[in-house]
Structure 1
Amino acid sequence: MRTQVGIIGAGPAGLLLSHLLHLRGISSVVLERRSREHVEQRVRAGVLEQGTVDTLIAAGVGERLLREGLPHEGIELRYGGAAHRIPFEKLVPDRRITVYGQQEVVRDLIDARLAAGGDLRFEVDDVEVHDLEGAPYVTFGGERLDCEVIAGCDGFHGVSRPSIPEGVLTVFEREYPFAWLGVLARVRPSAEELIYARTDRGFALHSMRSPEVSRFYLQVPPDADLADWPDERVWAELKARLETIPGFTLETGEILEKGVTPMRSFVAEPMQYGRLYLAGDSAHIVPPTGAKGLNLAVADVNNLTEALAAYFATGATDLLDGYSAACLRRVWRAQHFSWWMTTLLHTFDDEDAYGRRLQLSYLDYVTSSAAAATTLAENYVGLS
């Protein structure tokens, strides 16, 4: 087999790249080790920046997003027994966020690629990349795919990044002393916008996926065992951390799914080696507090699409040569914002009274200063 771009990974990054390349007349093959059912049902992030929404609409895969997505004009910071709204419509009037599950984005992209005759291969085994500095190719399940470029969109645990020779990459990493217990529940959201709650018991987030389904997160120890979190304990802890202002009652209901997500910051640079280009989680991870993971992947893919379009049209390599540097400018801004939101809202085991007072002081500043609130708002909805 031969194609122009071999894409490893059928998550949002790989699927969107394949579709954008198709719109430019560039062929690709997407290889995914998981089943189609698995990638379509994998619950992940659900906050889309304005730029991500614009990209999906321009690519012709935004019909259901526009119909079912939930546009939000702000978020709430809840701490100290009070609620403080960050109004996007006033601070960044040209941008907002849209709540639309990552798995829905994946379904839309798969449908679009298959409708256009795209070559998507699920449940492939033994994927390996070869000859990255020469004539690259990918082997899988006893087959060989020759291509001019390989895009590694296979996530943090994929094969792409480890295929780069030792000593080429510089890795920057930070692990946090807590995790998130994520809960998906069949219950009407108790608020119209996301609530970020900072309490002495730990952080909590109230989010949603639809008018009938809510998403919640609780800060828990990094070694938390789901067996220790029966439904009754989950709801009790969510109530303790969210019902902290007068008049607010958390609706409860059937819990559909629970999972524990470790918190990590990670960047590997450069995001390219030879004819291999990394995109999304294969190159960088952010703690989910800033809602940046999926959006960074889309930004990477936009950069890579433009670089590949120029290369295949004219042979120009300047955009490909500068791909990593172009992506990393945004990656590091998102890294800082995600770290900042995480340290601002979570409790730390070794935190002393001085550290807690610093947190509360900065929260007071963000919620009372238009300049500070604007900084949060423009980073949250996504920089241009």
Structure 2
Amino acid sequence: MRTQVVIIGGGPSGLLLGQLLHRRGIEAVVLERKTRDYVLGRIRAGVLETGLVGLMEEAGVAERLHREGYVHEGTQISLNGEMFHLDFKRLTGKPVIVYGQTEVTRDLYDARESVGARTEFEVDHVVIHDADSDHPFVTYDQHGQQQRLDCDFIAGCDGFHGVSRQAIPLSMRREYEKTYPFGWLGALSETPPVHDELIYANSDRGFALCSMRNANLSRYYIQCALSDHPGDWTDKAFWQELRRRIPAEMAEKLVTGPTIEKSIAPLRSFVTEPMRWGRLFLCGDAAHIVPPTGAKGLNTAASDVHYLYNGLRQFYEERDSEGIDRYSERALLRVWKAERFSWWFSGLLHRYPDQSPFDLKMQQADIAFLRDNEAQQRAFAENYVGLPY
């Protein structure tokens, strides 16, 4: 079997790339290790930058997003109970849209199925062959049979633990990593959000975030120890701790209820370079991880898709390899800016075990500068709504 592009990974970045390529008449096969239902069962954040919304529009899958998504023109920041507003629309002319990553993925799967584009589920033992040649191919097992798929290019959209990055020889790649000494305990509840915008809170008890999925589905987070387990936290304990960390006026309005999902996510910054080896290209978590602070994970994957899609389009439509040749350079330039913002914003809001009184005063001064200085507010807003591609 043969196709033009093999996409390893049926998450949002792989599906978005496949849909964009399909709209330009470029054939792509998506290989996914799990089932469609499993992929759609993953709980992920959903704050979409302007650039990602534009890609969804170009892919022809933005109708439900615009109908059901929530436009957020700003966000709230608090320090020890004092809350202030940052107005994205005034500062940049752009909002963000809250629309769950699961819904993005669902829309892309539906679009792919409606046009009969090929997606192979329950694929195992994927091996990338001859990526550094002009004739790469992929082998995999499916339902007890081995398959081979020849192609022109391979897009590795299979996440941090996937096979794509590992296919690049260690001698050819360099990895940069920072691990954070805490995690986020997240709880999902079928309750109305406490505010119509996200609230990022710095308190003397640690970080908290109030976010939303829709009018009756809320997602809340509190900073926790890496040694914690979700089962350590009863619903009562979680709600009590969240109330202690957010402004009193919000704590009074908070509607609580049974949580329908709890999980703990460690925080990590990670980048591998380069993001291309021969005819293999890395996208999204396969190449980089950002802390969830500032919602850059899915959005940074989307910027990778933008550069790779346009490079492949340029190759097939214009017989020009400039776009794919410069893919890694262009993608990494934006990736590192997103890493910087997520690292800085994480440092602004969290309590670190080794913080001295001086460090805490500097953190407070940094937040005060953001509150009082419009130039700093504009820089923040430009990063949050998404730097240009």
Which category describes the TM-score, using the shorter chain as reference length? over 0.9
1:203-352 correspondence to structure 2 within 5 Å:
203-245=207-249, 248-352=252-356
How many Å apart are 1:182 and its aligned residue?
1.1
How many Å apart are 1:138 and its aligned residue?
0.6
2-structure distance, mates of 1:227, 1:209: 23
1:75-154 correspondence to structure 2 within 5 Å:
75-93=75-93, 95-134=94-133, 135-141=135-141, 142-154=146-158
Corresponding letter in the other structure for 1:40: L
**Does the 8 Å contact 2:243/2:251 carry over to 1?**
no
2-structure distance, mates of 1:81, 1:149: 52
Runs of 5+ unmatched residues, structure 1: none
Question: Are 1:21 and 2:21 matched, yes or no?
Answer: yes
Structure 1 equivalent of residue 189 of structure 2: 185
* 1:111-160 alpha-carbon deviations (Å, 9 max, x no partner): 00010111011111111111111211111111101101000000000000
Tell me how many residue pairs correspond in the alignment.
383
1-structure distance, mates of 2:195, 2:180: 29
Structure 2 equivalent of residue 201 of structure 1: 205
2-structure distance, mates of 1:191, 1:268: 37
2-structure distance, mates of 1:43, 1:199: 26
Question: Are 1:364 and 2:368 matched, yes or no?
Answer: yes
Corresponding letter in the other structure for 1:376: F
Corresponding letter in the other structure for 2:122: E
2-structure distance, mates of 1:128, 1:233: 46
Structure 1 equivalent of residue 68 of structure 2: 68
1-structure distance, mates of 2:80, 2:221: 19
- CA separation of 1:202/1:117 partners in 2, compared to 1, >3 Å: closer, same or farther? same
1-structure distance, mates of 2:59, 2:115: 13
How many Å apart are 1:254 and its aligned residue?
2.3
Question: Are 1:49 and 2:49 matched, yes or no?
Answer: yes
2-structure distance, mates of 1:243, 1:77: 10
* 1:188-221 alpha-carbon deviations (Å, 9 max, x no partner): 0110100000001110000000001001111011
1-structure distance, mates of 2:58, 2:132: 34
How many Å apart are 1:164 and its aligned residue?
0.5
1-structure distance, mates of 2:318, 2:90: 44
Q: Secondary structure at the match of 2:210?
A: strand
1-structure distance, mates of 2:176, 2:78: 31
1-structure distance, mates of 2:174, 2:220: 35
Corresponding letter in the other structure for 2:72: H
**Does the 8 Å contact 1:76/1:195 carry over to 2?**
yes
1-structure distance, mates of 2:213, 2:250: 25
How many Å apart are 1:81 and its aligned residue?
2.4
2-structure distance, mates of 1:254, 1:120: 37
Corresponding letter in the other structure for 1:18: G
Corresponding letter in the other structure for 1:169: R
Corresponding letter in the other structure for 2:188: L
TM-score by length of 1: 0.98
2-structure distance, mates of 1:67, 1:82: 34
- CA separation of 1:244/1:79 partners in 2, compared to 1, >3 Å: closer, same or farther? farther
How many Å apart are 1:245 and its aligned residue?
4.4
| Poorly superposed stretches of 4+, deviation over 2 Å | 243-249
- CA separation of 1:172/1:81 partners in 2, compared to 1, >3 Å: closer, same or farther? same
Q: Secondary structure at the match of 1:261?
A: strand
Runs of 5+ unmatched residues, structure 2: none
Structure 2 equivalent of residue 59 of structure 1: 59
Q: Secondary structure at the match of 2:293?
A: helix
1-structure distance, mates of 2:87, 2:202: 19
Q: Secondary structure at the match of 2:171?
A: coil
2-structure distance, mates of 1:90, 1:125: 49
2-structure distance, mates of 1:327, 1:70: 28
Structure 1 equivalent of residue 39 of structure 2: 39
TM-score by length of 2: 0.97
How many Å apart are 1:244 and its aligned residue?
3.3
2-structure distance, mates of 1:247, 1:126: 49
Q: Which piece of structure 1 moves more, 46-55 or 198-207?
A: 46-55
2-structure distance, mates of 1:6, 1:383: 29
Q: Secondary structure at the match of 2:342?
A: helix
How many Å apart are 1:58 and its aligned residue?
2.3
2-structure distance, mates of 1:169, 1:45: 29
- CA separation of 1:284/1:355 partners in 2, compared to 1, >3 Å: closer, same or farther? same
